Structure 1
Amino acid sequence: MSTITKLKGSIVVITGASRGLGVSIAHSFAKAGSTLCLIARSAPGLEDLAQELIREYKINVEIWIADISDIVQVLRVAQEIEARFGHVDVLVNNAGIIQFDLVENGNVQDWWRVMEVNLLGPVALTRALLPGMLQHGAGTIISIGSRLCGRSAKYLSAYACSKTALMQFHQCLHREIWTRGISTFVVQPGNVDTHILAAPGAVNPVTASENAELARRVQALKDTSTCDPRVTAGLCVTLASLPEARVLSGLYIDAEQSLDGVFEDISVSGKGLIQQHELYQLKIRKLADLDGQ
């Protein structure tokens, strides 16, 4: 069965769909014939995208205006989607924000806001839609991650914490639901221009004006955001449609690396490097772990 055939008519929910990477993800699933449920905080861009997708792909597109960090709004949207379409086949948690700042500066509410959007939102929406997937016995949950999953970085403590916690959530979720037909992935999109730096609060202007290194890092991120978002969008479609991708459930998938080698290694049951060394997942290694190596 081809990707197009498998996803045709499937119900796909995409957050952060009105700009950047979310637009590319919406186009890729639309091209595959999916019915799209698009969520974003602002209406104008989302309405324009929906009309464009309907014209180009002749598919059904519905939109919801909601703040995914607000649990009440998340539950409302989830209930309305399931009332309209029944169970959801694919959930793509794409919405996210970033904050460049020193831990000592700003205020804790701004720091925590990053956690609410990047972690609370995906967890809340996943929890709301998961029962329907489990009842159906199938589904795919994808969250957009970051190179900072499990890594530290100056000026990005809130963002790094949120993405690392999101990765751990997926690993735990995988252990609970994989045998029940649901696959779950974290996708690292590479240096894609997601428009995340254009959002209010992405950079503390006071800190940036006083800290040349922070300003340089922000500019470097802008200058290196040259990866094609269609690559990441295509990977999301592949993970949702390819039966073989089930063996990668629970793992961190890099959009800039070929899946061929990963498939080849993980297919060696119990003997591949991925399983032996627990690659593509979070792990704290200690000196004792090196014994016998």
Structure 2
Amino acid sequence: MDQWNGSTAVVTGASSGIGAEFAAALAQRQCNLVLVARREDRLRELATRIEGEYGVQVRVVSADLSLRSEVDRLAQTLAASGTPIDVLVNNAGFATHGGFSDQDAARMNDEVAVNVAAVVALTRALLPGMVSRGRGAVVNIASTAAFQPIPFMAVYGATKAFVLSFTEALWGELEGTGVDALALCPGATDTEFFDVAGEAASVGKRQTPAQVVATAMRALDQRRQPPSVVSGCANRWSSRLPLLLPRRATIRVTRKLVGAK
């Protein structure tokens, strides 16, 4: 995306990890920010640090994106502010790990709500304004889990496959409008993600949030911006393997890697 300076970006899941790193990277490019997460105290700490370091305007909105009422309230708050939103980073998300039939149904519903429904709703709310202004970017955080089914993380893998397909389709619709759509696909990253999903969900060497966000920013800066990008050389290779292996073999490999440990 061109002309980052003076634009306004919304970052969900901004209280830590990849979301906080996105906030800092965008602020460094002189984007004003709206930071969204459940933990308001963490958001305010981050906002104070970013305002002091980069001199941009930072607004904090506490919201639980597993609740549609909260997603709608966020969209209404952004609309009422009168400030055009130029960048949307849908980063909020979480994973559950374990056999599907053993998982808590309400928790899985929340997983789909945050990882899928909130992404669609916020994109629908903010994208028309970007298109009408002829500038903007939507960055949706998918995962290397999007490239194959993940036994013992069946819901998470499916939600990220949705995000990848959804975002790449948007890229196709938006080509030529001046608005970018990018699906960012990290592998294991050194964040609080595994505090929720558990260590058994971690496969391969972890990247830092800074490495992951740098991958996204490089992709957005390209003249011919791709519809999706995988962060990390090893992750790029592993994401291609499902294209080469029989489907049953792929599922068995992921089952062994991610199965209960």
TM norm structure 2: 0.83
Distance 1:229 1:90 in 2: 19
Counterpart check, 1:244 vs 2:223: yes
Superposition map of 1:157-172 within 5 A: 157-172=154-169
From 9, 12, 19, the equivalent of 2:9 is 12
Matching residue of 1:264: none
> Could you give the per-residue CA deviations for residues 77-131 of structure 1, whole angstroms, max 9, x where no partner exists?
2232233253211111111101001012123322222111111111111011111
Secondary structure (helix, strand or coil) at the match of 1:14 reads strand
Structure 1 unaligned regions, length at least 5: 204-214, 259-278, 287-293
Q: RMSD of the TM alignment (CA)?
A: 2.6
Superposition map of 1:1-293 within 5 A: 6-199=3-196, 202=197, 217-218=200-201, 221=202, 224=204, 226-240=206-220, 242=221, 244-246=223-225, 248=226, 251-257=227-233
Structure 2 unaligned regions, length at least 5: 247-261
Q: Which letter does structure 2 place at the counterpart of 1:230?
A: A
Deviation at 1:8, TM superposition (A): 1.3
Secondary structure (helix, strand or coil) at the match of 2:152 reads coil
Name the count of aligned residue pairs: 240
Distance 1:104 1:189 in 2: 27
Q: Which letter does structure 2 place at the counterpart of 1:181?
A: G
> Could you give the per-residue CA deviations for residues 233-254 of structure 1, whole angstroms, max 9, x where no partner exists?
22333344x25143x1xx3201
| Alpha carbons 1:75, 1:128 under 8 Å: kept | no
Distance 1:29 1:177 in 2: 22
| Alpha carbons 1:25, 1:236 under 8 Å: kept | no
Q: Tell me the percent identity.
A: 28
Which structure is larger by alpha-carbon Rg, 1 or 2?
1
> Could you give the per-residue CA deviations for residues 136-174 of structure 1, whole angstroms, max 9, x where no partner exists?
112111111111113122210010010001111112222
Comparing 148-157 with 58-67, greater Cα deviation is found at 148-157
Q: Which letter does structure 2 place at the counterpart of 1:244?
A: R
Distance 1:105 1:40 in 2: 28
Q: Which letter does structure 2 place at the counterpart of 1:233?
A: V
Q: 1:29 to 1:195 in 2, by over 3 A?
A: same
TM norm structure 1: 0.74
Q: 1:7 to 1:151 in 2, by over 3 A?
A: same
Secondary structure (helix, strand or coil) at the match of 1:39 reads strand
Deviation at 1:181, TM superposition (A): 2.4
